[in-house]
Amino acid sequence: MNLTDSDKAMLDGAEGPAVAAAMDLLVRYGRALDAEHLCDVRNVAGTMTQPSPAKARLVAEGGWDKAYAVLNLDSDGDFAIPDMRVPTCQLQQSFGPDAAGIAPHPAHDLVQLQSDAESFYGRKGVNILATCTPYQVGNIPVRGEHVAWMESSAVVYANSVLGARTNCEGTASTGAASLTGRIPCWGNHRRANRLGTHHIKVRTRVTGALDWGMLGYFAGDLVQEERPVISGDLGQPDLLDLKHFGAAAASSGGVEIFHLPGITPEAPTLESAFAGDTVPEAVPYGADERRAVYEDLNSQGTRTDVDFVLLGCPHASLDQVRDTARLLEGRRLNSGTQLWLMVPRALRTTADRNGWTAVIEAAGARVMTDSCPAMSRTAPPGTKVFATDSAKQAHYLPAILGIEAWFGTLADCVEAAVTGRWKGELR
């Protein structure tokens, strides 16, 4: 792999042992992938604060520096961690102390560990956004910018909607990128790897988050780790629609980039999404396919008693918070049903000021931050059946928690929370 003089100097220790360890990791990573060189990144979204028993042991043995060396740099070295070299943010983590009494949480010492990690890494320059949607709270890379992000739903949004360039990175590669401002230039960093591979032609109505989530689930299942291009009479999607489309496509498959000709930035036309190559024969997405996806996502629900409703995956937009408040206003949740709405902490502040949090909580529901049931592997005690408006949570949570799932619109989910019964249907 070709290294610049600056890369070599970092590798040789000119900027200290932690940066040398970070560069060593990036060189090993790049060589394993046959990357020709590294590229500059000035935007890293990773995980430094997520608590675990292994991190607790490392902190007890050698402090926060040791924990970063082992977990974020894959190094056994004993060295001090310098400030982050480039802007870095923390993605979603575990529930914090303000979820006490709501979300069953691992041991108190892990909650404290996360709070201590926020203090330590925050001072090092890690912005504790604590959300899977950093693009909703001010971290918005521009088109063509190389970044190093984790979290599949954030990666697919960054690549496809924003036109930034990132692979789905990991804890160690983002830890090393934070200290060096470099990442191997392979995969989605290269234009040739961003072009469409499959063409899906929509022949049915696709409006709203439910439909965009189902279309994403269909696309991911079809293309797996390749790159779908979606054409048809789609109308104008918004942030919420594309957030749900990408998260679903990255759940049923491993989609990291998609194109919507005329909508997403790297595909002004259908032909350009394939770089002028022949457009592949279209796979239809019509009323039958739409119905089949809906039935697939609802195939794990047998009992209609709903114990738990989960909204805000990926973390909710302010529009979703507002819509939830309007649907709940003046109502009370069924006594045996809980509703959690996940939002980025920074948006919760606005929701509080708008009065939406008060309306939602007056109904007995909860507006929560930092994490989600899949990430924290938790749900209200005794949950056997849950409902969600997220194809991603419907895909993952039954496997993670061994519970049944119903998938439907936001209104279907709120109705289930108020009545305790699932009555959703595809309209």
Using CB under 6 A as the criterion, which residues of the chain lie in contact with ligand F3S when the complex forms?
A: 92, 132, 153, 247, 313-315, 342, 372, 374-375, 392-393
In the complex, what is the shortest distance from the CB of residue 360 to ligand F3S, in angstroms, rounded to a whole number?
17
Q: What are phi and psi of 297, to 5 degrees?
A: -70, -20
Nearer of residues 171 and 419 to ligand F3S, judged by Cβ: 171
CA distance 304 to 181: 51
If the CB atoms of residues 165 and 315 are measured against ligand F3S, the closer one turns out to be: 315
Q: How far is the CB of 46 from ligand F3S (least distance, A)?
A: 14
At 357, is the secondary structure helix, strand, or coil?
helix
Between 42 and 377, CB nearer to ligand F3S = 377
- Count Cβ atoms within 10 A of the Cβ of residue 398 and give its class: 0-12 exposed, 13-18 middle, 19 or more buried: middle
* Strand ranges inside 133-251, DSSP E: 148-149, 182-184, 198-202, 228-232
- CB-CB neighbours of 129 under 10 Å: 23
Q: How far is the CB of 371 from ligand F3S (least distance, A)?
A: 7
The gap from C-alpha 244 to its chain's centroid, in whole angstroms, comes to 10
CB closer to ligand F3S out of 64 and 386 = 386
- Taking the least distance from each CB to ligand F3S, the nearer of 126 and 132 is 132
Place of tokens 């279907």: 412
Of the chain, the end-to-end C-alpha distance in Å amounts to 54
DSSP string for 69-108: IIIIH-----------SS-EEE------GGGTTTS--S-H
In terms of CB distance, is 174 or 180 closer to ligand F3S? 174
**Measured from the CB of residue 397, what is the shortest distance to ligand F3S in angstroms?**
8
Nearer to ligand F3S, 237 or 373 (CB): 373
Give me the least distance between CB of 250 and ligand F3S, in Å please: 9
CB-based contacts of 195, cutoff 8 Å, min separation 6: 227, 273, 274, 275, 277
Cβ contacts of 252 within 8 Å, gap of 6 or more: 216, 217, 218, 219, 220, 221, 391, 395
| DSSP string over 105-138 | -S-HHHHHHHHHHHHHHHHHTEE---SS-GGGTT
Residue (200 or 375) nearer to ligand F3S, CB: 375
Least Å from the CB of residue 227 to ligand F3S: 20
Taking the least distance from each CB to ligand F3S, the nearer of 186 and 407 is 407
Minimum CB separation of residue 200 from ligand F3S in Å reads 22
**Shortest distance in whole angstroms from residue 92 CB to ligand F3S:** 4
| The one-letter amino acid at 119 | S
CB of 313 or CB of 367, closer to ligand F3S: 313
The b/e string for 132-141 (b: 16+ C-beta within 10 A; e otherwise) is bbbbbbebeb
Residues 6+ apart with CB under 8 A from 311: 320, 324, 339, 340, 341, 342, 388, 389, 390, 410, 413
Task: Write the single-letter amino acid at 406.
Answer: W
Q: Which two tokens stand for residue 334?
A: 């069924």
| Shortest distance in whole angstroms from residue 103 CB to ligand F3S | 13
In the complex, least distance from residue 106 CB atom to ligand F3S, rounded to whole angstroms:
17
Contacts of 14 (CB under 8 A, 6+ apart): none
